[in-house]
Amino acid sequence: MSVNIMEKEPTFTKEQLITASKASKNFGELRKKAQVNPMFVTDNGDIDTVVLGYKHFANMFRRLSELEELDEARILTQRLEELERNPSIGVSWRTVRRTGRVDE
């Protein structure tokens, strides 16, 4: 499995920038370019919108879902390990179902 370390902010080329006014006048061209690389729409010089093709969006969504599942599994594993070390912190399932809380 490869791990991609993301930058704190996305990087882009000058060709990926388009002004809001040009984007509205050339939306078809913007959509075509966005199929290849995300396009960054600027308003008064600041990026305020990103247009990306569905394939890129679907890949991001899939990866985010995978990361959320991994994080949930990590949290559950940590909680189970804590419970094994200290059973007194356990809460009955009946309490959780009745109150919706685990900290009573």
pTM for the model stands at 0.65
**Confidence band, pLDDT 50/70/90 cuts, at residue 104:** low
Q: Is the pLDDT of residue 3 over 60?
A: no
Per CATH, the number for 12-52 is 3.40.1620
- Token pair of 34 as six digits: 């966005």
> Distance from first CA to last CA of the chain, Å, rounded?
40
pLDDT digits (tens, 9 = 90+) for 4-48: 556 678 888 999 999 999 999 999 999 999 999 999 999 999 999
Instruction: Give the separation between CA 102 and CA 99, rounded to whole angstroms.
Output: 8
Looking at residue 4, what is its pLDDT?
Answer: 56
Average pLDDT of the residues in 49-65: 96
Domain ranges of the chain: 12-52, 54-87
Instruction: Give the separation between CA 54 and CA 16, rounded to whole angstroms.
Output: 17
At residue 23, what is the residue type?
A: A
